Amino acid sequence: MYFLAVFVLLGTGLVANCEMHSLTYIYTAFSKPVELPGLHEFTAMGLLDNKMIDYFDSDNQKKVPKQDFMKKQMPVEYWEKGTQSRQSKQQWFKVNIDILIKRMRQNDSDVHILQWRHGCEGETQPNGKLQYRHGTDMYSYDGTDFLSFDDSHSTWVAPTAASEPTKRKWDEVQVLKEYTKGYLETECMDWLSKFVEFGKKIDASMYDLKLFIFLF
| CATH number for the domain that contains residue 206 | 3.30.500.10
Q: Give the mean pLDDT of 141-158.
A: 95
Share of the chain above pLDDT 70, in %: 85
Flag whether 160 is in a domain.
yes
Alpha carbons 185 and 197: distance in angstroms, whole number: 18
Flag whether 41 is in a domain.
yes
Look up the pTM and report it: 0.85
Q: Each residue of 16-64: pLDDT tens digit?
A: 457 999 999 999 999 999 888 889 999 999 999 999 999 999 999 999 9
Structural domain count, the chain = 1
- What is the SS3 assignment for 58? coil
Flag whether 58 is in a domain.
yes
Residue 212, pLDDT score = 41
Question: What rounded mean pLDDT belongs to the chain?
Answer: 87
Angle CA(137)–CA(80)–CA(44) in degrees, nearest 5? Answer: 35
Instruction: Identify the domain containing residue 88 by its residue range.
Output: 18-215
Flag whether 11 is in a domain.
no
Flag whether 91 is in a domain.
yes
What separation in angstroms does the CA of 34 have from each of 24, 38, 59? Answer: 25, 9, 12
DSSP label at residue 215: H
Flag whether 111 is in a domain.
yes
Sheet with 144-150: list strands edge to edge: 64-65, 51-57, 42-48, 20-30, 113-124, 130-141, 144-150, 155-157
In contact, 23 and 46? CB cutoff 8 Å = yes
Flag whether 74 is in a domain.
yes
- Whether residue 161 is predicted with pLDDT greater than 80 in this model: the reply is yes
Residue 151, pLDDT score = 92
- Whether residue 11 is predicted with pLDDT greater than 50 in this model: the reply is no
pLDDT classification of 117: cutoffs 50, 70, 90: very high
Alpha carbons 141 and 97: distance in angstroms, whole number: 9
Hey, how many other C-beta atoms are within 10 angstroms of the C-beta on 46? 23
